[in-house]
């Protein structure tokens, strides 16, 4: 399995640099078709003091949006033309102006989506939370700072036996099969009569190993510690450069109650994260 169609979500100049630094090497390695997506907000009609639409404001807004989109398009072309890859560019418009939200329908035919981690400072970043939840395709989230690795040698798979975790594990097979080592981390496995806690993760480990992956299983009890803290500690101990995680929401009100581990990954994890659901 190879990622033959990769979509890069480019919300702003900072996102574009980080995302393309990741997307281009991967597209070259997998001989992929790379799609760049950027969206601008539709100008909001304001009325003048006399109650008529402020056409001058609309025109200025439209021109600024076009200038920003053209600048990102030019940057995308400059980066990709040097590589000789197959590519296309999609410039979109929506009321939100969010490249991730606006591009949802475009990404569903992709093998892999690459987007930048949400940043609390600077220009508004794309809504990667909703992208992960609604795209129906795996998303590789690029950290907003720190070293950027694209040849993943140490993979950590957070495994809890859920359908989301299973989807993520097999979606990430191209990376897992190439890695030097994949550590399957099981936290607080359920005890049952037919399976001991120590055996948790053995079946997924065997399945991945049949694809040529070098895997090991670690079982750990939380003992009151937060799951995301345990994962972060394990990543630091093992030198993880890719976290594979099944993304989920505890509630249909996902904007408010997005899973705690998923939220941490989407905002502050300092390595690339591969999420599916």
> Domain of 57: which CATH number?
3.40.50.620
Q: pLDDT-derived band of residue 44, with 50, 70 and 90 as boundaries?
A: low
* Shared-domain flag, residues 222 and 130: no
Q: Over the stretch 136-156, which tens digit does the pLDDT of each residue have?
A: 999 999 988 777 889 999 999
Q: Over the stretch 1-29, which tens digit does the pLDDT of each residue have?
A: 689 999 999 988 888 999 999 999 999 99
Start-to-end C-alpha separation, the chain? 19
* Shared-domain flag, residues 118 and 35: yes
* Shared-domain flag, residues 239 and 179: yes
Q: How many domains is the chain built from?
A: 2
| Strand 86-94 with 33-41, pairing | parallel
* Domain final position from 92, 118, 142: 142
The answer to the question of residue 147 being in a domain is: no
Report residue 116: phi and psi, to 5°: -85, 145
Cβ distance 142 to 17 under 8 Å? no
Domain that holds residue 242: 154-276
Cβ distance 34 to 24 under 8 Å? yes
Residue 254 has pLDDT above 50, yes or no: no
* Shared-domain flag, residues 48 and 137: yes
Q: Over the stretch 194-213, which tens digit does the pLDDT of each residue have?
A: 555 556 789 999 999 999 99
The answer to the question of residue 149 being in a domain is: no
* Shared-domain flag, residues 200 and 120: no
pLDDT of residue 199: 67
The answer to the question of residue 125 being in a domain is: yes
* Domain final position from 107, 142, 177: 142
> Structure tokens of 222?
């939380």
The answer to the question of residue 148 being in a domain is: no
* Shared-domain flag, residues 130 and 159: no
pLDDT of residue 275: 92
Cβ distance 86 to 27 under 8 Å? no
* Shared-domain flag, residues 79 and 117: yes
As a whole-number percent, the residues of the chain with pLDDT over 90 amount to 44
User: Which residues contact residue 174 at a Cβ distance below 8 angstroms, ignoring those fewer than 6 apart?
Assistant: 1, 2, 3, 30
* Shared-domain flag, residues 128 and 48: yes
d(CA 93, CA 86): 24
* Domain final position from 116, 142, 168: 142
CB atoms within 10 A of CB 252: 8
Cβ distance 92 to 39 under 8 Å? yes
The answer to the question of residue 196 being in a domain is: yes
* Shared-domain flag, residues 177 and 260: yes
Q: What is the mean pLDDT of the chain?
A: 84
pLDDT of residue 45: 62
pTM to 2 decimals? 0.88
Q: pLDDT-derived band of residue 253, with 50, 70 and 90 as boundaries?
A: very low
Q: Over the stretch 153-197, which tens digit does the pLDDT of each residue have?
A: 999 999 988 888 999 999 999 999 999 999 999 988 876 545 555
* Shared-domain flag, residues 48 and 169: no
d(CA 238, CA 181): 10
* Shared-domain flag, residues 49 and 126: yes
* Shared-domain flag, residues 187 and 120: no
pLDDT of residue 105: 86
The answer to the question of residue 113 being in a domain is: yes
48 vs 181: which has the higher pLDDT: 181
| Strand 112-116 with 181-187, pairing | unpaired
pLDDT of residue 217: 93
């Amino acid at each position: 399995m190879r990622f033959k169609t990769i979509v890069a979500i480019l919300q702003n100049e900072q996102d574009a640099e980080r995302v393309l630094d990741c997307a281009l090497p991967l597209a070259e390695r997998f001989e992929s078709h790379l799609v760049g997506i950027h969206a601008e907000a539709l100008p909001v009609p304001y009325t003048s003091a006399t109650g008529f639409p402020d056409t001058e404001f609309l025109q200025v807004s439209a021109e600024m949006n076009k200038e920003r989109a053209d600048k990102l398009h030019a940057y995308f072309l400059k980066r990709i033309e040097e590589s000789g890859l197959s590519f296309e560019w999609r410039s979109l418009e929506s009321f939100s102006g969010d490249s991730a939200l606006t591009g949802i329908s475009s990404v569903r035919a992709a093998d892999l989506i690459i987007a930048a981690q949400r940043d609390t400072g600077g220009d508004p970043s794309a809504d990667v939370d909703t992208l992960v939840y609604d795209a129906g395709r795996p998303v590789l989230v690029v950290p907003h700072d720190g070293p950027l690795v694209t040849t993943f040698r140490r993979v950590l798979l957070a495994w809890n036996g859920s359908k989301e975790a299973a989807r993520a594990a097999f979606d990430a097979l191209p990376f897992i099969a190439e890695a030097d080592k994949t550590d399957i981390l099981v936290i607080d496995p359920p005890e049952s009569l037919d399976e001991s806690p120590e055996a948790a993760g053995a079946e997924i480990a065997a399945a991945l190993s049949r694809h040529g992956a070098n895997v090991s299983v670690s079982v750990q009890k939380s003992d009151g510690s937060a799951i995301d803290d345990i994962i972060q500690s394990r990543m630091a101990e093992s030198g993880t450069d890719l976290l594979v995680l099944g993304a989920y929401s505890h509630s249909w009100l996902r904007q408010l109650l997005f899973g705690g581990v998923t939220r941490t990954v989407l905002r502050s994890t300092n390595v690339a994260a591969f999420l599916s659901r």
